[in-house]
């Protein structure tokens, strides 16, 4: 991945982390995250770049992704039981 893309992904991930620190119960789709979770300066970021940033966070266990009935995905913090906490 080019250095610029790596920086962009990290910036997106930091924005998502910041949003979730303030709104730990938040859950939204890719489009909703772009519109509501990201600062204005990042809202023009391509959906594919946002998807990549979120996919990395899902892979690392920072986020969970659920598939909705319409095929879209909902992203949120992992539930306590997902993280192994009773």
Q: Give the Cβ contact number of residue 27 at 10 Å.
A: 15
Per-residue pLDDT reduced to its tens digit, 20-75: 999 999 999 999 999 999 999 999 999 999 999 999 999 999 999 999 999 999 99
Q: Is the CB of residue 7 less than 8 Å from the CB of residue 49?
A: no
> Is residue 83 in a domain?
no
Domain that holds residue 34: 3-76
Phi, psi angle pair for 27, to nearest 5°: -150, 135
In the prediction, which pLDDT does 1 show? 66
> Is residue 66 in a domain?
yes
User: How confident is residue 6, by pLDDT bands cut at 50, 70 and 90?
Assistant: confident
> Is residue 20 in a domain?
yes
Asked whether residue 83 carries a pLDDT value surpassing 70, the answer given is no
- Count: domains in the chain: 1
Asked whether residue 80 carries a pLDDT value surpassing 60, the answer given is yes
> Is residue 37 in a domain?
yes
> Is residue 85 in a domain?
no
Structure tokens at 82: 């997902």
**Rounded to the nearest 5 degrees, what angle is found at the Cα of 51, between the Cα atoms of 55 and 28?**
90
Asked whether residue 3 carries a pLDDT value surpassing 60, the answer given is yes
Q: Is the CB of residue 51 less than 8 Å from the CB of residue 71?
A: no
Task: Say which CATH number the domain at 18 has.
Answer: 1.10.10.10
Give me the residue label for tokens 């770049």. Answer: 49
């Amino acid at each position: 991945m080019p250095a610029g893309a790596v920086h962009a992904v990290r910036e997106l991930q930091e924005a998502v982390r910041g949003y979730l620190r303030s709104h730990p119960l938040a859950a939204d789709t890719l489009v909703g995250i772009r519109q509501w979770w990201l600062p204005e300066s990042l809202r023009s970021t391509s959906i594919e770049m946002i998807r990549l940033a979120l996919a990395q966070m899902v892979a690392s266990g920072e986020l969970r992704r659920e598939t909705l009935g319409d095929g879209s995905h909902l992203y949120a913090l992992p539930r306590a039981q997902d993280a192994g906490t009773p």
